[in-house]
Amino acid sequence: MKLSSELQQLKQKEAEEELEKLRQSAKTAVQSEAKKGELEKKTFQEGARSLQALNPEISIAADMVSNYKTEAPHYTGESRSGFELRVVEFLFQSNLDPFSFTKIIVEAGREAVGVGEAYVKWVNLFKRLNLTVGK
């Protein structure tokens, strides 16, 4: 009887040890998977540009002047009351890829229409070195 109870206790102890080994094995596997997942995460730094907005940003700016004259001789002629639109600028700006973007400004005035600014900027060619090319 005593021998069978000791045998029963040994079997129970072996089962508990085996269960503990399985728990440790599972815990180790979970931790290694978590570490593997952490290693696979890649963080972009140093100002890398994202491709989330490939559509260009479009802006419009205008230079306007208006005046109001109340004296009778100034109702007509060049110094009369009125509104003058000197120039309108159309700005287009867009990311070209994660490391470059472009900016173009087209100006429309009374006499002419032309490109005011146009350039491409590459960021992080080398560590903290940027290159801007354009007008």
Averaged pLDDT for residues 73-100: 81
Residues 18 and 64 in one domain: no
Residues 22 and 72 in one domain: no
Residues 33 and 81 in one domain: no
34 membership: H or E segment, kind and range? helix 2-40
Query: Where in the sequence is the domain holding 4, given as residue range(s)?
Result: 1-42
Residues 74 and 113 in one domain: yes
Using CA atoms, how far apart are residues 79 and 34, in angstroms rounded to an integer?
A: 76
Q: Is residue 49 part of a domain?
A: no
Q: Is residue 50 part of a domain?
A: no
Residues 67 and 18 in one domain: no
CB burial of 97-132 (b: ≥16 within 10 Å; e: otherwise) equals eebbbbbbbebeeeeeeeeeeeeebebbeeeeeeee
User: How many domains does the chain divide into?
Assistant: 2
Q: Residue 75 class from Cβ within 10 Å (0-12 exposed, 13-18 middle, 19+ buried)?
A: exposed
Helix (H, G, I), strand (E, B) or coil at 74: helix
Q: Is residue 47 part of a domain?
A: no
Q: Is residue 121 part of a domain?
A: yes
Residues 69 and 20 in one domain: no
Express each pLDDT in 10-60 by its tens digit: 888 898 999 899 999 988 888 877 676 665 666 655 555 555 556 788 999
Q: Is the pLDDT of residue 132 over 90?
A: yes
